[in-house]
């Protein structure tokens, strides 16, 4: 069982930071690794040829371990989720299929890529909107997504939890249905990987794309992607020297090389060896592997449980635990609350979270504790319509 890990971070104790879905704070070790990386270039002779390759390999190994892939070469270094998705989109062929399925109000980086492909290849984008219901929303949303997948489906692009309200998607079931109909499954793991287990052997997704600055606790401008066998012979969106075979032979780089390195290596961004980011990511992944995503998930559940029960008693709607993330969930305040008053109260109490659509998004992590949720609860108690001022 994890205990509170706030000592490993430098958060200001005067703020209640419940917004990891916006951006994680740096671990102290990650900050130190970044500073060491900056300093290294002040003496460039300390950067050796192997530093272009070995740290990248180590990061890939750690990420592969985190998602339980036995093949670290299926991991690519990307600068943003949009880049990882663009590599997928570039290699999509309609093969006579008719549609791409996405859940409603998906994050824009996981929408624009498909909009473009749909135009080019005359495909329909089928958007499965969040059901407008009072109860069992995520359960029914999952059923509707499953029902929509059929022999005409080329690809399903989604996430493990919805970025705005944490609705949990059953990827195992969705993988089974997509496999049945020979459709690809592409997952944006930015809002889940690191804090919610995803095992690519158990759920063999075709691609898993993650920006690193949220639940992976890495730097902004960096990310990691897993590409399955469907992309082994694909074309990357750019051609850089380091992704070609024998790129470690610096003397022979201008003997241009037609072959890529194997598996997903071809999809990594130019200057992937970034001596600052790669060290930061290495440290962050080491810490996540030590904690484990399941333990992070359990920890977030434990510290929020009691406040959630009280918030429901006050009239707020929060999805049942089985159908949402514990590290990211939406709260719909309902008629008992004025949203403007709530916002003001959050500001006064220095409770930091985000509003996404009609939901208040609550996104804890291991630096939070139960007391943080009590302060959140206090905000609601103070502004509830008709609340006694005594």
Ligand X SMILES: Cc1ncc(COP(=O)(O)O)c(C=O)c1O
Of the residues 99, 191, 345, 365, which one makes contact with ligand X according to CB under 6 A = 191
* Minimum gap (Å) between residue 107 Cβ and ligand X: 4
Measured in degrees and rounded to the nearest 5, phi and psi for residue 28 equal -60, -40
329 touching ligand X, by CB under 6 A: no
365 touching ligand X, by CB under 6 A: no
Q: Closer to ligand X by CB, 109 or 167: give it.
A: 109
Q: Which residues contact 151 (CB under 8 A, 6 or more apart)?
A: 97, 181, 182
* Region of residue 329 (left: phi > 0; alpha: psi -120 to 50; beta: else): beta
Pattern 243-262, binding to ligand X, x per CB under 6 A? --------------------
Measured in degrees and rounded to the nearest 5, phi and psi for residue 141 equal -60, -45
State the Cα–Cα distance between residues 240 and 244, nearest whole angstrom: 8
Q: Closer to ligand X by CB, 32 or 237: give it.
A: 237
Q: Closer to ligand X by CB, 221 or 334: give it.
A: 221
Stretch that binds ligand X, among 32-40, 102-110, 148-156, 362-370 (CB under 6 A): 102-110
81 touching ligand X, by CB under 6 A: yes
Residue 88 vs residues 100, 118, 132, 189, 228: alpha-carbon distances, Å = 13, 13, 31, 14, 11
State the Cα–Cα distance between residues 387 and 380, nearest whole angstrom: 10
Residue 107 vs residues 56, 235, 329, 340: alpha-carbon distances, Å = 28, 25, 15, 25
Pattern 104-123, binding to ligand X, x per CB under 6 A? ---x-xx-------------
CB hemisphere CA count around 117 (13 angstroms): 24
* Minimum gap (Å) between residue 222 Cβ and ligand X: 9
State the Cα–Cα distance between residues 205 and 226, nearest whole angstrom: 9
211 touching ligand X, by CB under 6 A: yes
Of the residues 153, 178, 190, 247, which one makes contact with ligand X according to CB under 6 A = 190
Q: Which residue has the tokens 């502004």?
A: 383
80 touching ligand X, by CB under 6 A: yes
Pattern 149-188, binding to ligand X, x per CB under 6 A? ----------x---x------------------------x
* Minimum gap (Å) between residue 352 Cβ and ligand X: 15
* Minimum gap (Å) between residue 385 Cβ and ligand X: 32
264 touching ligand X, by CB under 6 A: no
What burial letters (b/e) apply to 216-227, b meaning 16+ CB within 10 Å? bbbbeebbbbbb
Pattern 1-40, binding to ligand X, x per CB under 6 A? ----------------------------------------
* Region of residue 286 (left: phi > 0; alpha: psi -120 to 50; beta: else): alpha
Q: Closer to ligand X by CB, 167 or 190: give it.
A: 190
Interface positions with ligand X (CB under 6 A): 80-82, 107, 109-110, 159, 163, 188, 190-191, 211
């Amino acid at each position: 069982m994890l205990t509170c890990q706030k000592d490993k971070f430098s958060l200001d104790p005067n703020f209640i930071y419940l917004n990891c879905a916006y951006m994680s704070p740096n671990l102290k070790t990650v900050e130190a690794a970044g500073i060491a990386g900056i300093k290294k270039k002040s003496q460039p002779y300390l950067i050796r040829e192997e530093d272009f390759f070995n740290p990248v390999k180590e990061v890939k190994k750690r990420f592969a371990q985190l998602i339980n892939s036995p093949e670290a070469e299926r991991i690519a270094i990307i600068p943003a989720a949009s880049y990882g998705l663009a590599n997928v989109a570039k290699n999509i062929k309609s093969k006579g299929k008719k549609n791409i399925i996405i859940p409603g109000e998906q994050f824009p980086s996981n929408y624009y890529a498909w909009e473009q492909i749909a135009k080019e290849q005359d495909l329909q984008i089928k958007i499965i909107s969040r059901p407008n219901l009072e109860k069992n929303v995520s359960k029914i949303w999952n059923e509707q997504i499953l029902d929509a997948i059929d022999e005409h489906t080329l690809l399903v692009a989604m996430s493990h939890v919805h970025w705005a309200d944490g609705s949990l998607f059953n990827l195992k079931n969705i993988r089974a249905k997509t496999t049945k109909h020979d459709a690809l499954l592409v997952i944006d793991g930015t809002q889940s990987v690191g804090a919610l287990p995803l095992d690519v052997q158990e759920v063999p997704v075709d691609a898993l794309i993650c920006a690193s600055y949220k639940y992976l606790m890495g730097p902004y401008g960096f990310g990691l992607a897993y590409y399955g066998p469907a992309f082994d012979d694909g074309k990357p969106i750019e051609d850089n020297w380091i992704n070609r075979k024998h790129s470690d032979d610096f003397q022979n780089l201008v003997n241009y090389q037609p072959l890529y390195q194997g598996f997903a290596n071809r999809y990594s961004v130019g200057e992937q060896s970034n001596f600052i980011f790669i060290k930061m990511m290495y440290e962050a992944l080491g810490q996540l592997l030590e904690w484990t995503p399941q333990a992070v998930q359990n920890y977030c559940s434990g510290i929020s449980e009691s406040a959630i029960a009280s918030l429901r008693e006050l009239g707020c709607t929060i999805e049942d635990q089985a159908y949402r993330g514990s590290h990211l969930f939406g709260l719909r305040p309902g008629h008992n609350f004025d949203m403007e008053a709530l916002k003001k109260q959050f500001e006064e109490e220095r409770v930091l979270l985000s509003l996404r659509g009609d939901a208040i998004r609550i996104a804890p992590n291991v630096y939070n504790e139960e007391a943080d949720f009590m302060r959140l609860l206090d905000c609601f108690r103070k502004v509830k319509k008709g609340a006694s001022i005594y």
